[in-house]
Amino acid sequence: MSRLRIGVLALQGDTREHLAALGEAGAEAMPVRRRDELAAVDALVLPGGESTTMSHLLREFELLAPLRERLAEGLPAYGACAGMILLASQILDAGARGREAVPLRGIDMTVRRNAFGRQVDSFEGDIEFAGLDDPVRAVFIRAPWVERASEDVQVLARAAGHIVAVRQGRVLATAFHPEITGDRRIHRLFVDIVRGQR
């Protein structure tokens, strides 16, 4: 079976950790900073980081419109934390005008930024994740949550009563950071989604 080429948006955030996790999950992983690199991948991971900074850099690197276009055409994508925020169709508390987080509209959902609180409120815990036999160790760092998900969106996990993992078609998003735990099941799930096996 041919190896998939999965890009990791490498403007800011946990790029290196996602590249390693994807490699361990059986994909050929490459950083994406330019339009030609975006055009060359079969799927894309949007890492954690700071959603307003990432939005600004998407504009600066002239990637915002091409990325929205590829998502609209069906590009498989996975967003973690800030990546989840960007994949939303609507963002609450999006930030200061002119520097706000910009929705890419990959999943029909409304996401609240920093919903669990500030950096000092970061936490981790084991959560049930639909389709996985054992709980996932979830690390939440200034994490968002999903306030509204359309009926086309599958809810995969909740924490403290809030939606923290979703899937719509071939687009996956988590409010937490699986790339830093050593558990590769969510990255393998994404690779399977890209291959059409899940």
What are the C-alpha distances in Å from 13 to residues 111, 158, 162? 19, 24, 24
Q: Give dist(CA 23, CA 2) in Å, integer.
A: 14
**Cβ atoms of residues 29 and 8 within 8 Å:** yes
| Annotation says 81 is catalytic | yes
On whether 186 is known to bind a ligand per the annotation, the reply is: no
On whether 50 is known to bind a ligand per the annotation, the reply is: yes
Q: Give dist(CA 141, CA 133) in Å, integer.
A: 25
Catalytic residue among 17, 18, 56, 179: 179
Q: Give dist(CA 58, CA 100) in Å, integer.
A: 12
On whether 95 is known to bind a ligand per the annotation, the reply is: no
On whether 34 is known to bind a ligand per the annotation, the reply is: no
| Annotation says 187 is catalytic | no
On whether 113 is known to bind a ligand per the annotation, the reply is: yes
On whether 142 is known to bind a ligand per the annotation, the reply is: yes
| Annotation says 18 is catalytic | no
Angle, CA 74 vertex, CA 81 and CA 54 arms, to 5°: 35
Catalytic residue among 18, 81, 151, 187: 81
Catalytic residue among 18, 56, 177, 187: 177
Could you list the residues known to form a binding site for L-glutamine, using ranges. Answer: 49-51, 113, 141-142
Could you list the residues known to form a binding site, using ranges. Answer: 49-51, 113, 141-142
Task: Point out the residues that are catalytic.
Answer: 81, 177, 179
